[in-house]
Amino acid sequence: MARGLFPWGFFRKPLYIQCDKYRKGVIDGSACSSLCEKDTLYLAKCFTVNPHSQVYSGSWGDLEGVIKCQMEDAPHYDIGGEMEPKKEAAAFNKPTKGTSVEKFREMILNHLKAKVGDQANLADLATQVLSIADANKDGHISLPEARSTWALLQLNEFLLALVLQDREHTPKLLGFCGDLYVMEKVAYSPLYGINLPWIIEVWIPAGLRRSMDQWFTPSWPHKAKISIGLLELVEDVFHGTFGSFLMCDVSAVRFGYNERHDLKVMDARYIVPEAIFEEIIRQQRCDVDEDCLFGADCLTSCDLTKHRCTPEVTRPNLAKACDTLKDYILRGAPSDVSEELEKQLYACIALKGSAEQMEIEHSLILNNIKTLLWKKISHTKDS
C-alpha cells in the first residue's frame, strides 16, 4: 500500500486518514481504490518537511506521479505562511446528506465566485468541476465523491490546475482520494539551481553562487522555449478566462519542465486569486511595508494612518518573472540578440505597480521579449 514510505508514523498519517475515511464511506475518488484496496498507488520519497502540506513521489500502475496531501485546516489565513485555509484534517462534511446535484452546482458556483470574482463563464468551470467529481464516470455524483471534490476546491493549487487545464503549464491531474491528489510527474525540476551542503554554501560569494546556479541548464534554444512558457503563464494568469491571479513566489524552485521543454508549474500554492489576496491583505496589521509581504514576491504598502496593508501589489507578475529569467536566458544568448534581450529584460524588471495601471507597457514589453526569443528559435527543431 505504501511501499517506500518513511518509517515514522507521522508520515503515514495522510495515508491512514484517506483510507480510513474511504472505508467508512466518507470520501471517494478515482485514486481511492488503488490507494487503499488494490495496492497499485505507491507513495515513495517525501519531498517536504512541512507538516501541513506533504508532497511525495510515487507511482500509479505504469504512471509516475507526484502525490500531494493536506494535513491542516482552520478558519484563518496566515500572511506569513500559505494563503490556504488550514485545518486539523479535512472534515469532509460538505455537502450535507440530501444535497441535490443542482444545489451542489450552486455551492461550487458561489465558491468560485468568491475565489476569482464574478466572471462571465464560471458556469463552464463549475461544469468541469462536476465532471471531475464523477470519479468513476457512472453518470452520478455520490456524496463521498462530492465531499472529496469540495475539499479539493479549497486549495489554490487545485483551482489553478482547473483554470489552466487546457494550457500546457500545469501538470495534469491524474486522480484524487479525499483531498489527496495525484499529478503527473515533471521530468526536470527546479528550473535551475544546484543544491549544496550548507557548510559549503556559507563560504560562496553571492555572485559566484548565482553563476553556479546556471551551470547545469539546457542549451540556449531550449532555455528560450522554457522562458517563453513562463511568459505565457504570466499572460494566462493575468485577466485570464477565469479571472486574475497573483504570482507570489516566482523563484526557480517553483517551476520545472518536461522532455519537450514545456514549462510546468511545480508548486502553485503561491499563485493566488487576486480577489482573495486583496481581501486578506487588507486585514493585515502593519507598521512598515515589509509587514505586507506574502510569499517571496507579493508586497504591498502599509497605510500608516490605519496601520493596515493596502491591496495593490508594488510589482506586477511580469516584472517578477523577468527577474527570475534574467541570468537564465542571458547566459549563452546569441550575440545578435543578447544586447536587445538584456535591454528588454531590464525594462521588464523595472515595471512597477499593478498590471492594470500599466497594461499597454506591460503587454508591449512581454510581446517584445517573446518575439525576440521566437524569432531566434522558430526555424529550429527546438521550437
How many other C-beta atoms can be found within 10 angstroms of the C-beta atom of residue 158? 23
Give whichever of 11-20, 75-84, 85-94, 367-376 has the largest mean pLDDT.
367-376
- The Cα–Cα gap between 330 and 43 comes to 39
In the predicted model, is pLDDT for residue 108 greater than 60? yes
In the predicted model, is pLDDT for residue 46 greater than 90? no
- Is CATH 2.40.128 correct for 204-378? no
For residue 88, what pLDDT band results from cuts at 50, 70 and 90?
Answer: very low
Give the lowest-confidence range in 47-51, 98-102, 170-174, 190-194.
47-51
For residue 202, what pLDDT band results from cuts at 50, 70 and 90?
Answer: confident
Give whichever of 58-67, 188-197, 221-230 has the largest mean pLDDT.
221-230
**CB–CB of 60/40 below 8 Å?**
yes
Q: Which residue has the higher pLDDT, 334 or 268?
A: 334
Mean pLDDT in residue range 221-248: 91
Q: Which long-range contacts does 93-97 make (Cβ < 8 Å, 24+ apart)?
A: 93/147, 94/147, 94/150, 95/143, 95/146, 95/147, 95/150, 97/143
- Residue burial 182-211, b: 16+ Cβ < 10 Å; e: rest: bbbbbebbbbbbeeeeeeeeeeeeeeeeee
Domain boundaries, the chain: 26-72+99-184, 204-378
Q: Which residues contact 163 (CB under 8 A, 6 or more apart)?
A: 116, 125, 240, 241, 242, 243, 245
Share of the chain above pLDDT 90, in %: 56
Give the lowest-confidence range in 115-129, 130-144, 188-202.
188-202
Q: What angle do CA 236, 130, 103 make, to 5 degrees?
A: 120
C-alpha cell at 366: 512581454
Mean pLDDT in residue range 327-337: 94
Mean pLDDT in residue range 195-221: 81
Give pLDDT, residue 70: 73
For residue 79, what pLDDT band results from cuts at 50, 70 and 90?
Answer: low
C-alpha cell at 50: 512541512
